[in-house]
Amino acid sequence: MVRILVTEDDADLRLAITTSLRGAGFAVDAAGDLPTADELLWVNDHDCAVFDRLLPGGDALDYVERKRRTGWTVPVLFLTALGDPAQRLAGLRRGGDDYLEKPFLAEEMVARVRSLCRRSGQPQAAVLRCAGVELDTGRREVRRAGVLLSLTRTEFDLLERLMTDAGRPVTRRDLVAHAWPDPPSSNALDVAIGNLRRKLGEPQPVRTVPKVGYVIDA
């Protein structure tokens, strides 16, 4: 699976970016500062890196420029409120591959990440598979045992989020943030999960994780 590093010190924005990328089929590592990002880059191979410019630990532009001097070639997308032409040009000259000014649409950010991954020759994660379920993120189709299922937009989005982290519990907060643009009613998540389970059928792959959220079996 294509893996993306996201480094953003604003916790809410970091969650939103991570959720959007995971929903698009990417594996994501998230950091709130440059030292953590450096550690994650050491631990895992990444196909693209998304950096906020001004972070605890310094300017990500300086960090990326230093990494480039060591031969590091991972494509980099800078996200920043520093949007004047001189800043954008500096970002591209000193190691960045693309530059997106805040505020931005999540869809545009995901599209730019996909473009950078294609540019670097990395395969795209368009189809997710687990527990006999196949989810096509491009066509927004879901099949189980080869049978096409009829899911609502919300059910599809919930399943996509669960399958992105198959085998790992996803919190109720993450599921709600991914599937609803506005806060839903208090029991909307449980109702939607119940409908999704009914459509997936037996053996049931979606399990409740008490006091946490839900998980789909890997």
Angle (CA) 130-153-17 rounded to 5° is: 75
What is the predicted pLDDT for the residue at 10? 92
Query: Does residue 103 have a cis bond before it (omega within 30 degrees)?
Result: yes
What is the predicted pLDDT for the residue at 121? 55
Catalogue all structural domains in the chain, each as residue range(s) with its CATH number: 3-119 (3.40.50.2300), 127-216 (1.10.10.10)
DSSP code per residue over the chain: --EEEEE-S-HHHHHHHHHHHHHTT-EEEEESSHHHHHHHHHHS--SEEEEESEETTEEHHHHHHHHHHTT----EEEEES--SHHHHHHHHHTT-SEEEESS--HHHHHHHHHHHHHHTTPPP--EEEETTEEEETTTTEEEETTEEE---HHHHHHHHHHHHTTTS-EEHHHHHHHH-SS---TTHHHHHHHHHHHHH-SSP-EEEETTTEEEE--
How deeply is 145 buried, as exposed, middle or buried, from its count of CB atoms within 10 A (0-12, 13-18, 19+)?
exposed
- In tens digits, the chain (218 residues) has pLDDT values of 788 999 999 999 999 999 999 888 888 999 999 999 999 998 888 999 999 988 887 889 899 998 888 888 899 999 988 766 777 777 778 888 888 888 888 889 998 998 888 766 544 456 888 889 999 877 788 999 889 999 998 999 899 889 888 888 989 988 888 788 677 888 999 999 999 999 999 999 999 999 899 999 87
Best CA proximity match to 142, nearest among 133, 154, 155: 133
What is the predicted pLDDT for the residue at 180? 82
Best CA proximity match to 30, nearest among 54, 5, 64: 5
